[in-house]
Amino acid sequence: MLKLPVLKVIPYVALSVVAFLCGYLIGITPKSQMRVSKANIGQLDNNGDGRIDTEFNYHEDLLTGGRYDRNFDGEWDYWEWYANGQIQRAEADNNFDRKVDSWLSHKHGNIVESRHDLDNNGKADSISSYRHGIILLSVGRPNGLESNAWVEFFREGSLWKELRDRNGDGLLDWLVEYDWFGSTVIQEEITPPIEPGRAIP
């Protein structure tokens, strides 16, 4: 029969075991199948096709980078860079043509800016800004054009207003507004047309 002091210790031991297991799970749950090599590289085959499609890099237990093959075609299409364990920036090939078409910047773990190449020539055509990780504004400057060809406004992550330069004269001349369901509620000519710089808050 167990003596009293031993009985008193049992709940603490049980608690320690639970805490250890929780920590273990928190640390590795998403990477439970991961192979970690001596070179501090962790690799995963998420779809089980025998090809590595996710790779993490570590330095002294801190994540320094990652790359992903999201469509499982054997080509990396998303890259991330970390500092002090927090994501700093990422690049993506969103149409899977093996050319990067999106560049993302992060602060305190949240995305703050993204640039996108819409016509696939390697040059960004739009710049989006975010607050608390949620898109606020997107400005279109096709291939680095001096003036803005369009300005899009978002509320709670949904597009609600856009101003466009439809005739390419460098002035925004067309206004469209949407409701919460994405239906157009206003669509009209802006008269007189406005300088793109004035459209941005």
Q: How far is the CB of 50 from Ca ion (least distance, A)?
A: 7
Between 86 and 143, CB nearer to Ca ion: 143
Q: How far is the CB of 48 from Ca ion (least distance, A)?
A: 7
Residue 45 interacts with Ca ion (CB under 5 A): yes or no: yes
Full DSSP string of 1-23: ---HHHHHHHHHHHHHHHHHHHH
Listed ranges 59-67, 88-96, 156-164, 177-185: which one lies at the site for Ca ion (CB under 5 A): 88-96
Residue 33 interacts with Ca ion (CB under 5 A): yes or no: no
Residue 49 interacts with Ca ion (CB under 5 A): yes or no: yes
Residue 71 interacts with Ca ion (CB under 5 A): yes or no: yes
Report residue 63 as tokens. 């994540």
Q: What number of helices (H) and strands (E) belong to the chain?
A: 2, 14
CA–centroid distance for 66 within its chain: 13
Q: Which residue, among 106, 152, 149, has the nearest Cα to 131 in the 3D structure?
A: 106
Residue 78 interacts with Ca ion (CB under 5 A): yes or no: no
Residue 93 interacts with Ca ion (CB under 5 A): yes or no: yes
Residue 123 interacts with Ca ion (CB under 5 A): yes or no: yes
Site for Ca ion (CB under 5 A): which residue of 16, 95, 110, 187?
95
Using CB under 5 A as the binding criterion, the count of chain residues that bind Ca ion stands at 21
Alpha-carbon dihedral sign for residues 102, 107, 110, 113: negative
Listed ranges 29-37, 62-70, 128-136, 173-181: which one lies at the site for Ca ion (CB under 5 A): 62-70
Identity at 142, one-letter amino acid code? P
State how far the alpha carbon of 100 is from the alpha carbons of 97, 110, 191, in Å.
Answer: 8, 21, 39
Burial of 194 (C-beta count, 10 Å sphere; 0-12/13-18/19+): middle
Interacting residues toward Ca ion by CB under 5 A: 45, 47, 49, 51, 53, 69, 71, 73, 75, 77, 93, 95, 97, 99, 101, 117, 119, 121, 123, 125, 143
